[in-house]
Amino acid sequence: MSLELRRKLFHFTSILGCAFLIKLYPLLACLALALSSLFLFLIVRKVEPVYEPLKRLVLFLERPKNYDRPGVQALWACLGLFTACLLFSADAFYGALVLAVGDAAAWLVGSHLGRLRVRDKSLEGSLAFFLASFLALLPFTGGTEALAVSLAGALAELLLPYPDDNFTVPVAASAVGWLV
């Protein structure tokens, strides 16, 4: 199994699990995300008592370009989901679902079929992000809300790379879910 596939499977399953924790128990999810963010911060900083026992697992899931700051994208995802929980409570479910499903679809399509580039993303991947997110949201909300939330997530992923799309996507999608 390739490194990117391992990363995407881990990303998808962990964030999807988080989405349903937010849906069922938003306050517990907020606490879990706060603690996870602290834990990941210690990993990124390579604090010995935390990082050393997990080093092999972390490096198994990390891109070589991030070895100096292992787990940094997971930290951004946790911080984005935590921020969404703090600001939008149970509506953070939308942001988590969009991040889990949309990011996986964008990678699958973008890495294999992506030709039209915007920064380091592909328009084909962004379209897949939007469509997959829209379909994933439909069982949980109306079509108009699913359309707005999935569009917000796809645009955040494509156009708002800073600080990291793992942060901007759940916050933007949750904000739109809360507003609509």
pLDDT for the residue 24 = 97
Q: What is the mean pLDDT of the chain?
A: 95
Name 118's bridge partners: 121
Share above pLDDT 70 across residues of the chain, in percent, rounded to a whole number: 99
Reported confidence tier of residue 118, pLDDT bands at 50, 70, 90: confident
Reported confidence tier of residue 116, pLDDT bands at 50, 70, 90: confident
Coil vs helix vs strand at 114:
coil
> Measured over all CA atoms, what is the biggest interatomic distance in the chain, rounded to whole angstroms?
48
* pTM of the predicted structure, to 2 decimals: 0.94
How far lies 110's CA from each of 41, 63, 128, in Å? 29, 18, 8
pLDDT for the residue 162 = 84
Residue 161: CB atoms within 10 Å? 15
pLDDT for the residue 117 = 82
Between CA 143 and CA 162 the distance in angstroms is: 29
Between CA 87 and CA 163 the distance in angstroms is: 18
Question: Could you report the per-residue pLDDT of 69-113, keeping only the tens digit for each?
Answer: 999 999 999 999 999 999 999 999 999 999 999 999 999 999 888
The residue whose two tokens read 């306050």 is 27
Between CA 169 and CA 73 the distance in angstroms is: 13
Q: How far apart are the first and last CA of the chain?
A: 40
**Under a CB-based contact definition with an 8 Å cutoff, are residues 107 and 120 in contact?**
no
**Under a CB-based contact definition with an 8 Å cutoff, are residues 92 and 170 in contact?**
yes
**Nearest Cα residue to 157 out of 108, 106, 113:** 106
Indicate the range of 61-65, 72-76, 80-84, 114-118 predicted with least confidence.
Answer: 114-118
Reported confidence tier of residue 134, pLDDT bands at 50, 70, 90: very high
**Under a CB-based contact definition with an 8 Å cutoff, are residues 57 and 14 in contact?**
no
Question: Could you report the per-residue pLDDT of 9-46, keeping only the tens digit for each?
Answer: 999 999 999 999 999 999 999 999 999 999 999 999 99
Between CA 44 and CA 106 the distance in angstroms is: 26
Residue ranges covered by each domain of the chain: 3-179
Reported confidence tier of residue 160, pLDDT bands at 50, 70, 90: confident
